[in-house]
Structure 1
Amino acid sequence: MQSVPEFYQGRNVFMTGATGFIGKVLIEKLLRSCPDVGTLYILVRPKRGQAVQDRLTELVKSKVFNKLRSEQPNFSDKLCGISGDMMEPEFGISAEDQQLLIDNVNIVFHSAATVRFDEVLRVALEMNTIAIKKMITLCRKIKNLDVFLHVSTAYANCDRHFIEEVVYPPPCDPNKLIEAAEWMTDEMLNKITPQLIGDKPNTYTYTKQLAEHILVTEAKDLPLAIVRPSIVGAAWREPVSGWIDNLNGPGGLYVAAGKGLLKISKGDPNAVADIIPVDLCVNMIIAAAWHTVVHKPKEVLIYHTTIGNENPVTWGEMEPLVMKYWKSYPLDNCFRRPKTVLMTKDGWLHNYWVVVSHLIPAYLTDLGLRCIGQKPRMVRIFEKVHKIMGTLEYFTHRQWEWTHHNRDVLLSKLSAEDKKTFYLDPRPLHWPSYIEGYCLGAKMYTLQEDLSGLPAARAHIRKLRNIRYTFNTIVVVILWRLLVARSQIARNLWFFIMGLVFKFVQNFHITSTIQR
Structure 2
Amino acid sequence: MDINSANKIMEEVDVIVESAASTTLNDRYDFLLDINVNAPLRLMRFAKKCKNLKLFVHISTAYVNGIREGIIYEKPLMMGENGRKHDDNDELSSSLFPLDLTDEMNLAMKACIASGDHDTTKDLKRLGLERAAYYGWYNAYHMTKAMGEMVLNETRQDIPLLILRPSVVESCYKEPVPGWIQGNRMYDPVIISYGKGQLPAYLADPNLHTDIVPVDMVANTTIAAIAKHGIMGKAGVNVYHVATDFVNPLRFNEMFEYIYEHFCAYPLVESENMVKMRLFDQFSNLSTYIRDHVSEQNTVVGVESKTRKHNKARVAYAEQLCKMYEFIGFFKARFHTGNTRALLEEMSEEERAVFEVDATKIDWKKYFVDIHIPGLRKHVVNATRLASV
User: TM-score, normalization: structure 1?
Assistant: 0.63
User: Alignment partner for residue 250 of structure 2, among 292, 298, 313?
Assistant: 313
User: Alignment partner for residue 222 of structure 1, among 152, 156, 159?
Assistant: 159
User: How does 1:166-185 map onto structure 2 within 5 Å?
Assistant: 166-169=75-78, 170-171=81-82, 172-181=98-107, 183-185=109-111
Q: CA–CA distance in 1 between the matches of 2:187 and 2:109?
A: 38
Q: Deviations over 1:446-502 (max 9, x none)?
A: 11279xxxxxxxxxxxxxxxxxxxxxxxxxxxxxxxxxxxxxxxxxxxxxxxxxxxx
Q: Verify: 1:125 aligned to 2:51, yes or no.
A: no
**1:471 corresponds to:** none
User: Alignment partner for residue 163 of structure 1, among 72, 81, 84?
Assistant: 72
State the Cα distance separating 1:182 from its structure 2 match. Answer: 6.4
**1:406 corresponds to:** 339
Conserved 8 A contact 2:131-2:140: no
State the Cα distance separating 1:179 from its structure 2 match. Answer: 4.7
Q: CA–CA distance in 1 between the matches of 2:295 and 2:55?
A: 51
Q: Deviations over 1:195-251 (max 9, x none)?
A: 454231100111111111111111132121000000111111111112223222211
**2:15 corresponds to:** 107
Q: Structure 2: 5+ residue runs without aligned partners?
A: 83-97, 116-122, 385-389
**Does the C-alpha gap of structure 1 residues 377 and 222 become closer, same or farther in structure 2, counting only changes over 3 Å?**
farther
**2:94 corresponds to:** none
The secondary structure found in structure 2 opposite 1:288 is helix
Q: CA–CA distance in 2 between the matches of 1:138 and 1:358?
A: 55
Q: Structure 1: 5+ residue runs without aligned partners?
A: 1-92, 371-375, 451-516
- Which ranges of 4 or more aligned residues in structure 1 deviate by more than 4 Å? 187-193, 358-362, 364-367, 376-385
**Does the C-alpha gap of structure 1 residues 385 and 115 become closer, same or farther in structure 2, counting only changes over 3 Å?**
farther
Conserved 8 A contact 2:30-2:105: no
**Does the C-alpha gap of structure 1 residues 142 and 234 become closer, same or farther in structure 2, counting only changes over 3 Å?**
same
**1:347 corresponds to:** 283
Conserved 8 A contact 1:249-1:388: no
Q: CA–CA distance in 1 between the matches of 2:270 and 2:4?
A: 51
**2:170 corresponds to:** 233
**Does the C-alpha gap of structure 1 residues 405 and 244 become closer, same or farther in structure 2, counting only changes over 3 Å?**
same
User: Alignment partner for residue 361 of structure 2, among 413, 428, 439?
Assistant: 428
State the Cα distance separating 1:390 from its structure 2 match. Answer: 2.2
Give identity over the alignment, percent: 23
Q: CA–CA distance in 2 between the matches of 1:377 and 1:286?
A: 48
The secondary structure found in structure 1 opposite 2:361 is coil
- The residue identity in structure 1 corresponding to 2:203 is K
The secondary structure found in structure 2 opposite 1:184 is helix
How many residues align structurally?
353
Q: CA–CA distance in 2 between the matches of 1:127 and 1:294?
A: 30
- Give the RMSD, CA atoms, in angstroms: 2.9
Q: CA–CA distance in 2 between the matches of 1:390 and 1:410?
A: 37
User: How does 1:167-316 map onto structure 2 within 5 Å?
Assistant: 167-169=76-78, 170-171=81-82, 172-181=98-107, 183-186=109-112, 187=115, 190-191=126-127, 193-195=129-131, 197-198=133-134, 199-297=136-234, 299-316=236-253
Q: CA–CA distance in 2 between the matches of 1:210 and 1:404?
A: 22
- The residue identity in structure 2 corresponding to 1:235 is C
**2:377 corresponds to:** 443
Q: Deviations over 1:83-104 (max 9, x none)?
A: xxxxxxxxxx343443343344
Conserved 8 A contact 1:365-1:378: no
- The residue identity in structure 2 corresponding to 1:294 is I
The secondary structure found in structure 2 opposite 1:447 is helix
More relative contact order, 1 or 2 (CA 8 Å, 6+ apart)? 2
State the Cα distance separating 1:300 from its structure 2 match. Answer: 0.9
Conserved 8 A contact 2:158-2:235: no
Conserved 8 A contact 1:248-1:388: no
Conserved 8 A contact 1:226-1:303: yes
**Does the C-alpha gap of structure 1 residues 196 and 324 become closer, same or farther in structure 2, counting only changes over 3 Å?**
closer
